[in-house]
Structure 1
Amino acid sequence: MRNQNKIVLDPPKVRGGNKIYCHFKCSGKVSKYFNENNFYMKLNANVESVPQSILIIPALSNICPVAWVTGTDIYVEEIDQEFLEALNTVKKSFQKLYPKHSFKGDIKYKKIKENKGYGKKKSGLFFSGGADSVASYIRKRHEKPYLLTVLGADIPLSENEGWSRVKSHTNQFAKMHKLTPLFIQSNLRSFLNERNLNKSYSKHGLRGWWGGIQHGLGLVGLSAPLTFIKGMNKIHFASTPLLSHNNTLYSTSWGSHPSIENNLKWGDTQVALDGTHLNRFDKIGIIAKYIKKNGSNLQLRVCWESKKGSNCGKCEKCARTMANLLSEGLNPSNHGFRMNKNLLKSMKKNKKSFMKLNKPQWKILQKKLSNKIPDADSEYYDFCQWIVKVNFQRKRKDFFS
């Protein structure tokens, strides 16, 4: 019994009005998947009035997947009734997405609480400033959603300069559209031993812990305390395109999926995964139409390579987004990008590796750009010319990503 897997969560504590701490104890082999035994988050709002059954949701959202995949039981003092039902459904969803892995373990609780009456028909939107979240804002702008931006996901907790840029970007976007920004800082990634998790479980269709399991449930759960104090009955989470070349939804090894987010709920709040029927071109098209109609200098932040809170201008995703904007008749330099002088050289040198993950998108961009080549004096002229002329050889069936 001494080596039995077990995770015991203490009741969460609020310090300074805006910091939530949840200490937990592990026993058994599950211990090796945690770097520390404290989950915390800091908000730009006072959450002292939030009940414990809601305060525990952020920690549970990030601990539960580890418990499930290791077959570990979790012990808590109290839990929200709606969220408990949601977790049981989401566990089954992960099992269907990853049938070669086993998702077991139960939540043991002393009290189950019903949290009703706080919803005021307000909504929130997780906002990174990327194409997905900006397109979702445009689609949901009539709701005037709160913008929820997180430190500790793609931007590390230690990256003060990057976080300053991200906050500035979100504040500017919020001011431009008369919205209220809400900022969340959390150790949701650093408290886990991602290296050990990837070593043990990145196989049989699961490509990586953060992307394959954690980021949908883990990020969404962070919003629970804010939904209670702000009266949000809906949280929108922008989808990563999950469409095949035939625009049909397919099950993919990705931690964000309709069977995950759309089943999440607590108290009066329901989560919605937005834009699952849209591919990357659809979303850039929505953004381009909005920019042209409103004369906006809207800035995008799409880069996952840079930890500095800006677009590096030299990775595949930056290059693909720049090409996409150009294909819509927009100048990327007006919307958060710059033409790195080494980008084209790198693309030519590493064409095979640079294009292989998103070959279908590059082939479509090749056709779209052929009618949108900028003037010869444009910084993007050589970039577009090479894309149009390069020989893409499609050797296997691929999907949009």
Structure 2
Amino acid sequence: MTNDNMNIGETIRAMGQNAYNVKFDLQSLSENKKNEVLLKVADALTSSAERILKANDIDIKSGEEKGMHEGLLDRLRLTTGRINDMAEGIRQVASLPDPIGTVLDDWNLENGLNIKKISVPLGVIGIIYESRPNVTADAFSLTFKTGNAVILKGGSDAINSNMVITDVIREALENEGIDPNAIQLIPFTDRSAVKEMLSLREYIDVVIPRGSAGLIRMVCENSRIPVIETGSGNCHIYVDKAADIEKAITIIINAKTQRIGVCNAAESLVVHEDIKDAFLPRLSEAMKENSVELRADEASIKLLPGAKSATEEDFGTEYLDYILSVKTVKSVEEAIAHINKYNTKHSEAIITEDKEAADKFLKGVDAACVYLNASTRFTDGFQFGFGAEIGISTQKLHARGPMGLKELTSYKFNITGDGQIRK
């Protein structure tokens, strides 16, 4: 191991110890104190907007020089409006009920013991993420409100933005008499830093990766710490034979083009063959108007002038670009089978006025979020009323879908007796 790697390892281990120590202080904070601090942090972010934007500008210019894709640049870019949104998300988290200390269940045994099941913090949460600097603020607000300490490892592309946002938060914490180690950002861009972080099982209770499929796979394969997967998004929209065509077009435009570089953007379109002749030419016009390239199967391509032939790989790709795959099917059952084969368990939608088809789709599709006649872009903690999110979990254990406050808690049993012993 080189001296640099030794320094990385020593620094990250010290950060783990710091987080472990501070988590006990955070667990004792009152709801009022946590809310007061969150509001101060929100104000600090907006008042520091110029400082944050200067750092973000360095990251953007570096990304442009490296030829970063437009969708990834959009994820990276901050504006005054996006900083205000970050602050508003924190304020919304402050306004939400504190889930800690909630009595989830309460019962008495015949021997007189009283058992209460009570929500508690997870402890120390490690978050590994790419490009999006807003995750830094979102992660802090949710972990702090739930009494958890957080160690962040952002992507190298956003290192300057993340460092300044973290500094602003830590300064606000110190001003409120809170140990700033409630949030720590790993300052190293070397890949070895991630592996060091993933070895800290004695300090970190859970790791949550946010980013590409490659990042999530790497974390799952290398972590000694339990992982909650927040997956990539190959999101589908199925246009049923009973769909309202204009409604479908409006939804698809929104889901595909409102922001192309996000995990809940639509990447794949599935169309019932009975509606393709009326629907696909209208789709072609709409996608051309929005500069979206179509990659279609043999049954669809003749109705989509200018479309390219879709490959097997296209049906399973998260493009994060102005590209949409198109597949024709003969039934809702075939649509469900196709989606379950190629999806990433994130967000899927059906457009139909047929209740039976809708019910089959909603029950049959295996995904965290399944929509009827609505855009997949709503899969978002802020949109769900969570204030912010730590990520979109695509697994089934512990949490699924947008992870807000409740998803960052565990529980314990408090048992009260009066001298009972077991015989």
Q: Please say which structure displays the higher CA radius of gyration.
A: 2
Which category describes the TM-score, using the shorter chain as reference length?
under 0.3
Which fold has the larger relative contact order, with Cα–Cα distance below 8 Å and residues 6 or more apart in sequence?
2
TM-score (norm 1): 0.27
Q: Determine which structure has the larger helix proportion and give its number.
A: 2
